Chains A and B, each alone.
Chain A
């Protein structure tokens, strides 16, 4: 155990194609490390009779395949974490799924690992999944790989087979940037070269898997890396104590150290490091602590405390690598939540530079991303964040994207570098501002956003409302979906991705018009909730009115003023909202109009009542 104190816990993953024997290998490690206890062995014997794939023998894979569905189907679905210890150190091993559809779980296992054991079936050699997993392993920042050529017993321990696979893999992995690749000739089932050197492979000169894992040196953190601590929360039990809680992401900290609070850049000093009823002399990377500061400065969750003489970069535009993890495709322009350590801001992908073919590594053009696809993208954030490139520090450069409506985790990403664009194109501060323009027009600018099915009466009502406002002497503009598609958006079609871009452009135009002091009426089907929320987020509180023009699909279809429903039903029009493309009704619109039962004049009047547009 004392030796374990020196080596530190080793976190590693096993991965590889389905049926390469990952679960069996972990079962073997646990079994031979005596981490399997008597009652678990008895349960294993029973389970092997029911579910086993090894005939009369114990099926070691059943030790790790814990879910009923996995045991019945004989496959690993979800990542499992296992713990064992030797005289040398503690181990945490993530057993990750081989099936392509569960790749996101594999990336999850890889994110916290320092080493990857990639299994290859000696009979099959390097497969698509082997390449795919190796790329994910490399992308997640794992720099050391064990190539475990497994099932050597099934190729009569043939050295030529081993050498061929070793050469094949090294050729493939040459440009993945691994610091080391250790190939091993194994049989997890028979135990060859797992714990003890096998007499079946006299030609094999490498270490056993266990001796390699015991001796493995974890990459030391960069020497003298400067202090960084994302603030998780503010601890203020009474007026005398104000502590900042967080986990040190890099470097060391001591009382008296000069620090900066980012992004505000305010400087102060560390007064004390408090942990329970004692104060610490110092804390280092990985420690959860509470610090107090010399001065009363504004700090909150999402800020970062950093060494004053070596602050990290702050930026809002990035190039990043992205692994898409949702069944819903990535849509450029759509607003997602971006979470980077304790910083959470709205972000969107402005450009997919290219999709990376996971098999060949070649760069492909893409307009969206589907589940398990990897791409290099440009990201734009609503406000700047403090960061370091992922290759320097996983905590400061690894992020997730969260869908704003379902709250599903849709992507994992790694910041590569900040785009200079943001810092070079400064916002031009204009002398005549929005308030001045609005005042000269003597009105309060508004964005009135009409949404509803085609044929629900949006344009009719918007038109009536504009006439009424105009008659009052107000300055208005009506942006109509059809009209805008003839000009500004003539390059866009009707796929989901293009609809998102369509709405993004119109929302930005409406925003400029609001700046100009106008009352803008926007009449667009705008079928997706997330995009209307994105539009709303561009405006100040109270400036944006969502008007839901509610008519049943049947009513709209019967009306069919442009004959579009008939066309769509005949299959001549693809992606038509309500027919083969969904409409997501607003949950809490400012104005909800039932357009089938009331005359459009009355409905326009209803909206006018809601508007308070005098300055």
Chain B
């Protein structure tokens, strides 16, 4: 069932990219959100530099609205890998009480994710930032380079991107510029799941179908991970067997009803899926050209 040859090609390409990124970096960092793509990235980073530790820390931008299970998984994996973990929260946003409900998902994402990320990158002077974005996720990402050049202020200019030929990456940047590097650009959602199965990579249990307390919002199921999720008068969370195809902030991550409680079942379901994985992501469609705009402002 699993395309081992295809996965080996993908893994080799990703490891080559990871090593190139590090060879040209002054101060690299890897984004670690604890999602399935991050889990694959962490696993390959450990493989690429084995037996040495990957020569960079992990960075988690904590909006304080992540699923509790994600936070636990994050701490467990950091401890197991022995890598340094940097957790950053936008303290001004937190003090101002910015949340996904009263301020809207667009403003919330800008303050608690995009601005928070820029704060962390500036504070630690990271020049090369490894991320788990894939070209099959979203249309503007299909146009993204593997080495995505960011001008001063982390700005992404689609027209200023460097041509990438063969596996030759131009890693040179000036001191106020930076690089976002996407080693799994050419993977699909199905590749990610098959690789997780092949390599037996630990993932957050939220990806497996379980009975969970959910409410219906904007045509999707939102899990009530804690009592901060406001309920309409008379609304009672119901228990449904659901799982998540992508994970982010819990009030913005839609679950799907599913019976898939093993990796094999997830792979079978992904094969047969009739909707895309980002369908549950509310922030992708909150304005026209949403993702492209967020990226220009520095969103990952």
Contacts and interface: CB of A to CB of B under 8 A. Distances in A.
Contacts of B170: 339, 400, 402, 407, 409
A365 B282 CA distance: 57
Given A1-B3, A67-B140, A245-B48, A394 B166 contact: yes
Contacts of B161: 78
Interface in B172-187: 172-174, 185-186
Contact of A409 (B6, B47, B163): B163
B188 A83 contact: yes
Contacts of A65: 139
Interface stretch (B8-16, B58-66, B67-75): B8-16
A67 B292 contact: yes
A39 B282 CA distance: 13
Contacts of A307: none
Interface stretch (B85-93, B100-108, B114-122, B272-280): B272-280
B10 to A, nearest CB: 9
A90 B163 CA distance: 24
Contacts of A105: 163
Interface string A431-456: 00000000000000000000000000
B49 A235 contact: yes
Contact of A79 (B12, B20, B136, B143): B143
Contacts of A236: 52
Contact of A4 (B6, B11, B140, B143): B6
A395 interface: yes
Interface in B103-146: 135-136, 138-143
B273 A37 contact: yes
Interface residues of A, number: 71
A402 B164 CA distance: 12
A339 B16 contact: no
B143 A399 contact: no
Among B47, B50, B168, B274, chain A packs the most CB atoms within 10 A around the CB of: B168
Interface in B3-43: 3-6, 8-9, 11-13, 15-16, 19-20, 22-23
B19 A398 contact: no
Interface stretch (A283-291, A355-363, A552-560): A283-291
Contacts of B202: none
A472 interface: no
A38 B279 CA distance: 10
Contact of A288 (B48, B136, B274): B48
B162 A290 contact: no
Contacts of B11: 288
B50 A277 contact: yes
Contacts of A399: 168
A28 B278 CA distance: 22
B245 to A, nearest CB: 11
A267 interface: no
A423 interface: no
A67 B292 CA distance: 7
Contacts of A83: 135-136, 186, 188
Contacts of A9: 6, 9
A276 interface: yes
Interface string A290-327: 10000000000100000000000000000000000100
A395 B143 contact: no
Interface in A152-184: none
A6 to B, nearest CB: 8
Interface in A96-128: 104-105, 107-108, 111-112
Nearest to A78: B143
B289 interface: yes
A288 B183 CA distance: 13
A92 B186 contact: yes
Interface of B: 1-6, 8-9, 11-13, 15-16, 19-20, 22-23, 46-53, 135-136, 138-143, 158-159, 161-168, 170, 172-174, 185-186, 188, 190, 273-276, 279, 285, 288-289, 292
18 contacts: A2-B1, A4-B5, A5-B5, A38-B275, A39-B275, A66-B138, A80-B143, A85-B188, A108-B163, A233-B19, A247-B15, A247-B16, A276-B50, A337-B172, A339-B168, A398-B166, A400-B168, A412-B165
